[in-house]
C-alpha cells in the first residue's frame, strides 16, 4: 500500500506538470491582451507596452513558462492581474465554499443514488423500478442551470422556504444548511442518477450470485443478505463512480455557483478567464487537478478495505 501511494505521488507530479503546461499554453495562445484588460480602454500604446514589460509578457513562451514553473515549485503562484491579490490567498478564501458545496452535493448524490439503485434492483421490473429508471434518465438529462432556476422559483421565490443564493454562513448553523440545500440538490442530481444506475446494475448482478442464494437457503435474515452479502459486494463499481463524481464536482461547480451567486473557485475561474487573468486561471486549474488525483488515490485505497481480495502488491 505504501508503494502504491509513493507511485501515485510520482504520477501526480508528472500529471500536474503536464496540466500546467497545457493550461499555460492555452492561456498564452488565447485571444485578448491581459495588458489591455488591466490598463482599461483609455490606455495608450506606451502604457500597454510598459505593463507587458513589467509582467514579462514580452518574453518568449518557454522563458515565461520556465519562470512560472520555477515560482510554482516554490509555492509562489503569482498575483492576480486585476486585484493584485496573491493567487493562493484568492483561492484559499473561496475554496471552502466550493468544498462545502461539493461535499453536500456528494452526500445528496450518494444517499439518493444508493437507495434508489437498491430499491430498483430489489423490485426489478416493478413500477418502482420503472420510476427509479425514469428518475435516473431525467437526472442525467436535466441541465444544472435549468434545475437551479426552477428550484429557486419554487422554494425561494414562491414558497420562500429557502434563501435565493449565497453561501456566507457556517454550514453547521441552520441558516448555513438552508443555503446549501438548493445548490446541493442542483449539483448532486446528475451524480445521484449516475450512481443509481450503476448501483442497480451491480446489485442485480450480485444478487444472483451463488453465495447470496446459499445465504438465503441457510435461513439468513433477508436484511443481513441485502446489507452484508449483497450491498457490500456490489459497492466496488459504485465507489468508483462516487470517487470520479466527487472529483468532477470539485471542478464542476461553475454553473451552480453562478446560478446561486456562490463565491467559490468555479466562479473565480470563469471570471478570471473572461478577464484574461492568467495566474488565477492556472492556480485554480492546478488545484482542481490535484484534488481530482488525490480523490482517486483515496478510492483505490478504499477498495482494499471493502474487498480484501484486491491487492496492489
- Is 119 in the same domain as 216? yes
- Is 110 in the same domain as 235? yes
Question: According to the model, what pLDDT value does residue 311 have?
Answer: 59
Q: What is the mean pLDDT of the chain?
A: 81
- Is 27 in the same domain as 147? no
Question: According to the model, what pLDDT value does residue 215 have?
Answer: 81
- Is 195 in the same domain as 151? yes
pTM exceeds 0.75: yes
- Is 101 in the same domain as 223? yes
Alpha carbon 231 to chain centroid, angstroms: 25
- Is 175 in the same domain as 101? yes
Show the cell assigned to 130. 420503472
Residue closest to 194 by CA, chosen among 242, 148, 228: 242
- Is 26 in the same domain as 122? no
Max mean pLDDT range (130-144, 186-200, 290-304) = 186-200
- Is 120 in the same domain as 209? yes
Max mean pLDDT range (26-35, 191-200, 233-242, 246-255) = 191-200
Q: Is 84 left (phi over 0), alpha (psi -120 to 50) or beta?
A: left
- Is 42 in the same domain as 170? no
- Is 179 in the same domain as 37? no
Asked if 297 and 13 count as a contact pair (C-beta separation under 8 A), the reply is no
Query: What is the number of structural domains in the chain?
Result: 2
Q: How many CB atoms lie within 10 A of CB 131?
A: 14
What's phi and psi for 299, nearest 5 deg?
A: -60, -45
Unique residue bearing C-alpha cell 449483497: 230
Residue 1 has pLDDT above 70, yes or no: no
Tens of pLDDT along 34-91? 777 777 777 777 877 887 888 777 888 888 888 888 888 887 888 887 778 888 888 8
Alpha carbon 288 to chain centroid, angstroms: 8
Residue closest to 287 by CA, chosen among 258, 265, 271: 265
Inside any domain, residue 87: no
- Is 208 in the same domain as 100? yes
Q: Which domain holds residue 149?
A: 95-264+293-306
Q: Among 48, 76, 104, where does a domain finish?
A: 76
SS3 161: coil
Question: According to the model, what pLDDT value does residue 308 have?
Answer: 62
- Is 53 in the same domain as 187? no
Distance CA 102, CA 211 (A): 37
Amino acid at each position: 500500500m505504501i508503494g502504491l501511494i509513493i507511485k501515485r505521488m510520482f504520477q501526480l507530479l508528472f500529471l500536474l506538470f503536464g496540466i500546467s503546461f497545457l493550461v499555460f499554453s492555452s492561456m498564452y495562445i488565447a485571444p485578448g491582451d491581459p495588458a489591455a484588460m488591466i490598463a482599461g480602454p483609455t490606455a495608450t500604446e506606451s502604457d500597454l507596452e510598459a505593463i507587458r514589460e513589467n509582467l514579462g509578457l514580452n518574453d518568449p513562451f518557454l522563458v515565461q513558462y520556465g519562470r512560472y514553473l520555477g515560482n510554482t515549485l516554490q509555492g509562489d503562484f503569482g498575483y492576480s492581474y486585476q486585484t493584485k491579490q496573491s493567487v493562493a490567498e484568492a483561492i484559499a478564501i473561496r475554496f471552502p465554499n466550493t468544498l462545502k458545496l461539493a461535499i453536500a452535493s456528494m452526500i445528496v448524490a450518494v444517499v439518493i443514488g444508493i437507495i434508489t439503485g437498491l430499491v430498483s434492483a430489489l423490485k426489478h421490473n416493478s413500477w418502482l423500478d420503472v420510476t427509479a429508471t425514469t428518475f435516473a434518465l431525467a437526472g442525467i438529462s436535466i441541465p444544472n442551470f435549468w434545475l437551479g432556476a426552477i428550484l429557486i422559483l419554487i422554494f425561494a421565490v414562491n414558497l420562500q422556504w429557502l434563501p435565493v443564493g449565497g453561501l456566507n454562513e457556517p454550514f453547521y448553523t441552520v441558516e448555513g444548511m438552508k443555503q446549501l440545500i438548493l445548490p446541493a440538490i442542483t449539483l448532486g442530481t446528475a451524480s445521484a442518477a449516475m450512481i443509481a444506475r450503476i448501483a442497480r446494475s451491480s446489485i442485480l448482478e450480485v444478487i444472483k450470485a451463488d453465495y447470496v442464494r446459499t445465504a438465503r437457503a441457510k435461513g439468513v435474515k433477508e436484511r443481513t443478505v441485502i446489507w452484508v452479502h449483497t450491498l457490500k459486494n456490489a459497492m466496488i463499481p459504485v465507489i468508483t463512480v462516487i470517487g470520479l463524481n466527487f472529483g468532477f464536482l470539485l471542478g464542476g461547480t461553475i454553473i451552480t455557483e453562478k446560478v446561486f451567486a456562490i463565491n467559490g473557485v468555479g466562479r473565480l475561474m470563469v471570471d478570471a478567464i473572461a478577464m484574461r487573468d492568467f495566474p488565477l486561471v492556472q492556480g485554480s486549474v492546478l488545484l482542481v487537478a490535484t484534488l481530482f488525483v488525490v480523490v482517486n488515490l483515496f478510492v483505490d485505497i478504499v477498495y482494499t478495505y471493502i474487498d480484501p481480495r484486491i491487492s496492489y502488491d
